[in-house]
Amino acid sequence: MAWLTHFLACIFGTGSWVAINGVWVELPLLVNELPEGWYLPSYLTIIIQLANLGPLFVTLMHKLKPGLLKEVPVICVVVSVGILALFLLAFLWHYTTPVAGEPHSVSFFVLTFFLSLVDCTSSVTFLPFMARFHPRYVPTLFIGEGLSGFIPALFALAQGAGIATCVQVPGPTFNASLGNSSWANGTGAGDSLPMETRYSPANFSSLVFFLLLSAMMSFCLVAFVFLNWQPQSWDLSRQDLCSSEITLNSIQKFPAGKEEPDDSTGGPTYSTERKVENVNEEGPGGEKVLYSGSKLVFIYFLITWLNALTNGILPSVQSYSCLPYGNLAYHLAATLSSMANPLACTVATFLPNRSLLFLGILTAAGTAFGVYNMAMAVLSPCPLLQHSNWGVALIVISWVSFTGTLTYVKVMLGMILRSCSHSALVWYGAVEQLGSLLGAVLMFPLVNVYHFFQSADFCSFQCPA
């Protein structure tokens, strides 16, 4: 029964961010088809942040009208909208509509907004829903959330999205600006033929890709239905009794107004309702976990900082930090980072450590890796050790370590708050989205308005001596 719950929780978690993760890994194909071109990521950043209205509404309802908004119907509606939006996106993503005399991908943006609304709202509904289960299932949910980014990345790799090769072209070439400043290596008639980036055709269309994502969301809905119908109260009581070596004779309900009799040994007796009623307030060992106000402030600060880095600041510059080392470095960093996410969740399941000091040290280490990634992005298109295998290895290791360490910390913070209260998990999701919003708002003008980072065609740019 426990393994079935773990499996369902994992499948349920895959629906958390699969839609937006899927759209992002499909961008290398979409930017070549949609009229917005390389400005498309900046549009998506704004759309995703507007979708934070969803978790904001849920959080305010929990604060102003506690108990009025139930997770079960909200999750049913949210996941169903995600399934429908992905299905429609598969057929409508390439349609354009004239706006101010220029074609724009209105249908793509509208459907992406609903997908963002689904994924953002999942942050404040999925985790609180899992609060009714034993704390051991919380890391499994995070594993599923990690797979929501890893599986679409595998689909994209199988599709061939973003796989580029360098080819020689006759005559001089000019590197067109992709929405910001870039370096081009102009070549005269007497020089060798210039290089140009060519993308290989996809093995299957974007229609198939989005239909696969819609199927993943459908599996998420099925898993949620089974989790909701599962008699978790009986399962939890049986687990607690087995671990405490209490006989089944002590599990019985008594009519109202009557006291529970002591057993023959004079030991305590437990009712099923009592155990389930207290499970939300108990730690992994059965004790009630309480944290001081200063520790809670520190925990929520870490959550804000971690999500600002992992969901807003660093993803905005991954291409700038990796592509100068070549396309292989970019794909290794992106793919292995996606693998590091569920791996870190798995490690947190079997090797948990709730020490705030330890988690603070891990956060500092992960931040250091993030600083290195950011430094290489600032130095783009000529980062350190650019033409060395050591440079490629360092940037890939740095991205994988950055994702792995900070993901572990996020999982452990979720487990800590799970042991506090249901509302603590709701605020976890709200603060998570706040951090993501702050990171995105900070990076958007730097990348898209002030052009602080320089892009470069790795096949044609040449660094100054």
pLDDT at 174: 45
HSE-CB for 40 with a 13 A CA cutoff: 24
Count, in order, helices (H) and strands (E) of the chain. Answer: 17, 6
Q: Are 43 and 36 in contact (CB under 8 A)?
A: yes
Q: Are 427 and 285 in contact (CB under 8 A)?
A: no
Pairwise pLDDT comparison (247 vs 21), residue with the higher score: 21
DSSP 351: S
Please state which of the ranges 24-28, 139-143, 215-219, 436-440 shows the lowest mean pLDDT. Answer: 24-28
Q: Highest-confidence range of 78-82, 307-311, 423-427, by mean pLDDT?
A: 78-82
Statement: the pTM of the whole predicted model exceeds 0.75: no
The Cα–Cα gap between 448 and 27 comes to: 17
Whether pLDDT at 310 is above 70: yes
Return the minimum-mean-pLDDT range out of 40-44, 307-311, 366-370: 40-44
- Assess whether pLDDT exceeds 90 at residue 82: yes
β-pair type (455-456, 182-183): parallel
CB 348 within 8 A of CB 143: no
For 285-294, the CB contacts below 8 A with 24+ separation are: 286/240, 289/416, 289/419, 289/420, 290/420, 291/416, 291/420
pLDDT-derived band at 324, boundaries 50, 70, 90: confident
Whole-number Å distance between alpha carbons of 142 and 407: 9
Residues 316-337: what's their mean pLDDT? 78
Cα–Cα distance, 5 to 129 (Å, whole number):
13
**pLDDT tens, position by position, 219-276:** 999 999 998 887 654 444 444 433 333 333 333 343 444 444 444 333 333 232 333 3
393-403 pLDDT per residue, tens:
999 999 999 99
Four-way CATH pick for 1-163+200-233: 1.10.760, 1.10.10, 3.40.190, 1.20.1250: 1.20.1250
Q: Across the chain, what does the average pLDDT equal?
A: 77
Spatial distance between the Cα atoms of 318 and 349, rounded to a whole number of angstroms: 28
CATH among 1.10.8, 1.20.1070, 1.20.1250, 2.60.40 for 290-464: 1.20.1250
- Residues in the chain, total: 465
Q: Which residue has the higher pLDDT, 338 or 412?
A: 412
Domain boundaries along the sequence of the chain: 1-163+200-233, 290-464
R_g of the chain, CA atoms, integer Å: 25
Q: Other CB atoms closer than 10 Å to residue 97's CB: what's the count?
A: 12
For the chain, helix, strand, coil in percent to 5 are 65, 5, 30
- Extract the tokens encoding 362: 């891990």
The more confidently predicted of residues 225 and 381 is 225
pLDDT at residue 103 tops 70: yes
- Residue 231's pLDDT is what? 64
In this prediction, residue 201 carries a pLDDT of: 74
Strand partners, 456: 183
Q: Considering the chain, what percentage of its residues have pLDDT values greater than 70?
A: 77
Cα–Cα distance for residue pair 41/33, rounded to 1 Å:
14
What's residue 424's pLDDT?
80
Only one residue has tokens 């992992």, namely: 310
pLDDT at 197 over 90: no
